[in-house]
Amino acid sequence: MIGIITYDTPHRKTQDLVTSLIINGYSDLHLIVIPWIARENFIPLFRHRPSKCANVSIEDLSDRLKISFSKHEIHNLNNFCTEKKFQHLLIGGAGLLPEELVANHKIINSHPGYLPNVKGLDAFKWAIYHEQPIGVTTHYISEKADEGRLIERRIIPIYYEDSFHNVAYRIYETEIEMLVNSIKLIDNNQAKYESLADDRYVANKRMSHKNEIIMMNKFEQLRQQSNSHRNQ
């Protein structure tokens, strides 16, 4: 059985992940549902994460897709996952998870950044801002955010005809694809498992509006450069 940690609220990434898993032949799924905690509503100048989703409760989602679910307080997750003995645990949506859970279970995350170079929030934006590789990483999480053990890492290209939002959505689609693909890589002993710990890079916070303007100018430069390279 594959466990998917998610929030007790309609959630776009979870809906897309579950659908992709089913399409790829994984039917023995269980949603591990934790309480949704509202966060400060920071409004960026440039949104880069898809958020609109079907307004479907966890109960209805599970019923319609014929999968099981259970609801848990976050401090009970370790005991539950130990009892269920999931073959794989994926993060559909979650904040920081309890250290006990992380220490005792292999939990797969998809990060919208090329680790270890771009850690933390707004990874796509900070990759552009700091002129780091733009990519996606799947990894087993550890007690430190965006570290752990590497499963797969991909560079996401930028093309001359792209908009900022084209690339952002390409990153999102790749996150879903790589989460599903992580199961095959692990089962076929093809995951890398190298350590992602690297103190040269620190976790980023939300990007300020001022830095977003700088970032968008740098994105335009990258887009123009991609055309120059194509014409060489």
Return the beta strands (E) in 9-106 as ranges: 29-34, 68-71, 88-91
CB atoms within 10 A of CB 30: 17
Cβ pair 173, 48 in contact under 8 A: no
- Structural domain harbouring 27: 2-230
Cβ pair 145, 50 in contact under 8 A: no
CATH code of the domain covering residue 99:
3.40.50.170
pLDDT for 42 equals: 84
pLDDT in tens, the chain (232 residues): 999 999 999 999 999 999 999 999 999 999 999 998 877 778 999 999 988 999 999 999 999 999 999 999 999 999 999 999 999 999 999 988 999 999 999 999 999 999 999 999 999 999 999 999 999 999 999 999 999 999 999 999 999 999 999 999 999 999 999 999 999 999 999 998 999 999 999 999 999 999 999 999 999 999 999 876 565 5
Bridge partners, residue 29, by sequence: 2
Counting the structural domains of the chain, the total is 1
d(CA 147, CA 119): 8
